[in-house]
Amino acid sequence: MIRLQNIEKVYRTDTIETLALNSVTLDVAKGEFLSIMGPSGCGKSTLLNIMGLLDAPSRGMIQIADKKTDNLSDKQLAQFRNKTLGFIFQSYHLINDLQVLDNVELPLLYRDTTAKERRMLATEALEKVGLSNRIKHFPTQLSGGQRQRVAIARAIVGKPDIILADEPTGNLDSAMGNEIMDILINLNRNEGTTIVMVTHDENMAHKTHRLVRLFDGSQVQ
């Protein structure tokens, strides 16, 4: 589903050159639940951003859902992300000015859908994460766990093949973290969604199919 070959990422300033990823090669199979671990600054999030086409590698090849992505324009990249990828962030990144339902509808705004369809699909996604009774709330009126569930609903509303989660339980206590993990596991098991998750938590990582470890930008396991 995801194929990364010899991915390198170098950050350059006028004086310093930092190698964030060093020749990382990784294949993620369809329906796989993969976790990435490593110490802070080892390049986990950079790798996830490159998989999510949010950042471009300095060198290497990316193939997602059988499509090479190096030559896509800004508009094509946006469309590709919209159809194929869903994101979950550690700090949720919900839009506080919009109600829960509007937040979940967001990816559908950039597709050819009617308002009625958007409403229906967003309500369906919120039901899956157990938040159908909170659709009129604003994010600031919800707990951390509830906010992350809204973020998951937003990630799955467009039925993407792949979900990329950057420390989804990082801001939550263990009970809430487990709840979120259960939702992701069910999503992977029942819907066949491919999930790549960056985490610091060994327990969470061991619940996934495979664990990849990074150290100083290189893959060590």
Partner 1 sequence: MLKNYFKIAIAVLRRRKFFTFISLFGISFTLTILLVLTAFIDKVVGDSYPDRKRDRSLYISRMTEVMQQDGTSSGPVSFYFLDHFVGSLKIPAALAISSGFSGTNTYVNNKKIAVSYKYTNAAYWDVMEYDFIEGKAFNKQQIDNADKVAVISEDMKNQYFGDIPSVVGKYIEADNVKYRVTGVVKNVPITSYMLFSDIYLPYTVAKTDFRKDKGYRGGFFGVLLAKSTGDVSRMQSEFNAMVRRLPMESKDYKKIYCHADPYIVSYVDTGDEKRSGVMLVLSIIGIFTLLVMLLPTLNLVNINITRIMERSSEIGVRKAFGASSRTLVYQFIVENIILTLLGGFIGVILSIIALHFLNSLNLIPNLVLSINFTVLAIGLLVCLIFGLLSGVYPAWRMSKLNVVTALKSQ
Give the binding site for partner 1 (CB under 8 A).
Answer: 49, 52, 54-55, 74-75, 78-79, 81-83, 87, 89, 91, 93-95, 97-98, 102, 105-107, 109-111, 115, 154, 158
For residue 64, the minimal CB distance to partner 1 (Å) is 14
Q: Which is nearer to partner 1, 75 or 206 (CB)?
A: 75
For residue 152, the minimal CB distance to partner 1 (Å) is 13
What crossing angle do the helices spanning 144-156 and 100-109 adopt, rounded to 10°? 30
Q: Which is nearer to partner 1, 53 or 205 (CB)?
A: 53
Separation between Cα atoms, residue 192 and residue 124, nearest integer Å: 17
CB 156 within 8 A of CB 128: yes
Separation of first and last alpha carbons in the chain: 20
For residue 182, the minimal CB distance to partner 1 (Å) is 24
Torsion from C-alpha of 127, 148, 52, 85, nearest 10 degrees:
0
Separation between Cα atoms, residue 91 and residue 93, nearest integer Å: 6
What crossing angle do the helices spanning 144-156 and 174-191 adopt, rounded to 10°? 20
For residue 69, the minimal CB distance to partner 1 (Å) is 14
Q: Which is nearer to partner 1, 38 or 160 (CB)?
A: 160
What are the backbone dihedrals phi and psi of residue 54, each rounded to the nearest 5 degrees, phi first? -90, -20
For residue 147, the minimal CB distance to partner 1 (Å) is 13
Other Cβ atoms within 10 Å of 56 Cβ, number:
13
Q: Which is nearer to partner 1, 9 or 128 (CB)?
A: 9
Q: Which is nearer to partner 1, 110 or 174 (CB)?
A: 110
